[in-house]
């Protein structure tokens, strides 16, 4: 079968025509026909040979971690999935260390050893191919009604895992505040940011998306369509933004710009939580007033949380939320997918980032 691959040893990308078709190797395994796969900055980093590890013994890694497919075959002990079901596979698989409490509890997203594997990223082929297999418990079922946008589930899980944790953290405040009074700022209007903004709006929060694009940009239109406010970084500093809002209770950082993150942290309000999801590329040191930063954080009871990957709970919440988004803002959700490519064209959206979200249509 065909697969879109990176050859890190040869520093090249290409279609491999003879990827061995996977077979179900356990009674609880399932086989999927891949339908669509999303492309993101992680794929661009892998294509730039910054990371990405092929499975042991393979000269190449089949790329793609934002998968969506249809079940075509199930092992004899699979009871809750059947051929024809639509599913999104989770990305990370547990490490082999029996002392890793996270992986032993099926929470590889919190793996303690760092020796986990990830489809399309580390040690396991990804979903940019015709078929994939895995244990049924890693396949999260998707209702047919959101078939056309289910490829957005994986990037939405980043926000869902973050907000599950933020809700737990804010239980530290011994009073209940109506969510309509919670002011959230999302930095970055890419797919992770906009999906996060939708999840916050769905919970009733007041949301401002702060990003570098002008207020006439497509991303600003999506933001306004979900009832959130869009502020261009060209018009306002984080400090001015905070002054206009009053007090920022939550920042969801989805730009990966480390300097902007520190400026937003300075603008965060009392008892606020700031969540980091972006990974800044390697760059030189930048000046930060560490004393002022820590003094401010301490005197305001703030919490800084960083998060990566997601467990099944976040996938299930993402699937439920995406269904809700489609009911409320069908055009805004569908408008996130701005580029569609065939498997053979996979290098185009990886080499030239444009629009909001590009996807590969592996099968119809
Ligand atoms: Zn991704
Ligand atoms: Zn582990």
In angstroms, what is the span from residue 170 Cα to ligand 1's centroid? 27
- Structure confidence at residue 282 as a pLDDT band (50, 70, 90): confident
Q: How far is the CA of 158 from the centre of ligand 1 (A)?
A: 9
Q: How far is the CA of 36 from the centre of ligand 1 (A)?
A: 13
CB 2 within 8 A of CB 17: yes
User: 309 C-alpha vs ligand 1 centroid, how far in Å?
Assistant: 9
Q: How far is the CA of 155 from the centre of ligand 1 (A)?
A: 6
Of the chain, the percentage scoring pLDDT greater than 70 comes to: 100
Measured in Å, residue 112 CA sits from the centre of ligand 2 at 5
Of 317 and 283, more confident: 317
Which ligand is in closest contact with the Cα of 116? 2
| Distant-in-sequence contacts of 342-351, Cβ < 8 A, 24+ apart | 343/2, 343/4, 343/15, 343/128, 343/129, 344/15, 346/4, 346/13, 346/15, 346/39, 346/63, 346/128, 347/4, 347/13, 347/47, 349/39, 350/13, 350/39, 350/43, 350/44, 350/47, 351/47
Q: Closest-lying ligand to the alpha carbon of 95?
A: 2
Which ligand is the nearest neighbour of the Cα of 67? 1
pLDDT score of 281: 75
Residue 351 has, within 13 A of its CA and on its CB side, a CA count of 9
Ligand with smallest separation from the Cα of 359: 1
Tell whether the model's pLDDT for residue 196 goes beyond 90: yes
pLDDT at 296 > cutoff 80: yes
Closest ligand relative to 99 C-alpha: 2
Indicate which ligand has the atom closest to the C-alpha of 120: 1
pLDDT for 283 equals 77
How many angstroms does the Cα of residue 303 sit away from the middle of ligand 2?
Answer: 25
| 177, pLDDT greater than 90 | no
Q: Which domains does the chain have, with CATH numbers?
A: 3-149+336-361 (3.90.180.10), 156-306 (3.40.50.720)
Strand order in the sheet with 12-16: 12-16, 3-7, 61-62
Helix (H, G, I), strand (E, B) or coil at 218: helix
pTM: 0.96
* pLDDT, position 358: 98
40: CA distance to ligand 1 center in Å?
Answer: 5
Q: Is the pLDDT of residue 50 over 80?
A: yes
286 alpha-carbon distance from chain centroid: 27
- If DSSP codes are grouped into helix, strand and coil, which group holds residue 166? helix
| C-alpha 343 – ligand 1 centre gap (Å) | 17
Confidence of residue 204 (pLDDT cuts 50, 70, 90): very high
Q: What is the mean pLDDT of the chain?
A: 97
Q: Provide the pLDDT for residue 303.
A: 98
> What is the per-residue pLDDT across 99-140, written as a single tens digit (0 to 9) for each?
999 999 999 999 999 999 999 999 999 999 999 999 999 999
310 CA distance to ligand 2 centroid (A)?
14
Compute, in angstroms, the gap from residue 147 CA to the centroid of ligand 1.
19
pLDDT in tens, 262-280: 999 999 999 999 999 988 8
Over range 132-159, report the average pLDDT.
Answer: 98
pLDDT at position 364, please? 75
Element (H, E) at 274: strand 268-276
> How many angstroms is it from 336 CA to the middle of ligand 1?
14
């Amino acid at each position: 079968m065909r697969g879109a691959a990176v050859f890190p040893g040869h520093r090249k990308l290409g279609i491999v025509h003879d990827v061995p078709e996977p077979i179900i190797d356990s009674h609880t395994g399932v086989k999927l026909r891949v339908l669509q796969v999303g492309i993101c900055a992680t794929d661009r980093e892998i294509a730039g040979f910054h990371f990405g590890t092929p499975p042991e013994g393979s000269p190449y890694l089949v790329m793609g971690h934002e998968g969506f497919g249809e079940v075509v075959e199930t092992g004899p002990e699979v009871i809750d999935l059947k051929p024809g079901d639509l599913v999104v596979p989770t990305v990370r698989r547990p490490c082999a260390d029996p002392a890793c409490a996270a992986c032993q509890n099926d929470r590889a997203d919190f793996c303690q050893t760092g020796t986990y594997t990830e489809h399309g990223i580390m040690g396991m082929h990804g979903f940019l191919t015709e078929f994939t297999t895995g244990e049924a418990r890693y396949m999260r079922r998707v209702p047919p009604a959101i078939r056309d946008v289910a490829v957005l589930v994986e990037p939405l899980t980043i926000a869902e895992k973050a907000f599950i944790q933020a809700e737990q953290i804010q239980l530290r405040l011994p009073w209940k505040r109506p969510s309509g009074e919670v002011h959230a700022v999302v930095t970055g209007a890419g797919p992770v940011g906009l999906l996060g903004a939708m999840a916050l709006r769905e919970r009733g929060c007041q949301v401002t998306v702060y990003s570098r694009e002008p207020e006439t940009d497509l991303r600003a239109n999506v933001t306004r369509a979900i009832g959130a406010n869009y502020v261009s970084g060209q018009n306002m500093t984080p400090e001015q933004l905070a002054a206009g809002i009053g007090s920022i209770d939550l920042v969801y950082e989805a730009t990966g710009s480390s300097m902007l993150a520190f400026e937003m942290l300075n603008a965060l309000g009392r008892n606020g939580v700031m969540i980091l999801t972006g990974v800044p590329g390697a760059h030189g040191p930048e000046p930060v007033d560490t004393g002022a930063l820590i003094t401010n954080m301490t005197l305001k009871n703030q919490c800084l949380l960083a998060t990566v990957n997601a467990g099944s709970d976040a996938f299930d919440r993402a699937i439920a939320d995406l269904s809700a988004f489609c009911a409320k803002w069908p055009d805004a959700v569908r408008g996130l997918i701005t580029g569609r490519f065939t498997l053979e064209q996979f290098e185009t959206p990886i080499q030239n980032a444009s629009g909001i979200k590009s996807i590969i249509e592996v099968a119809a």
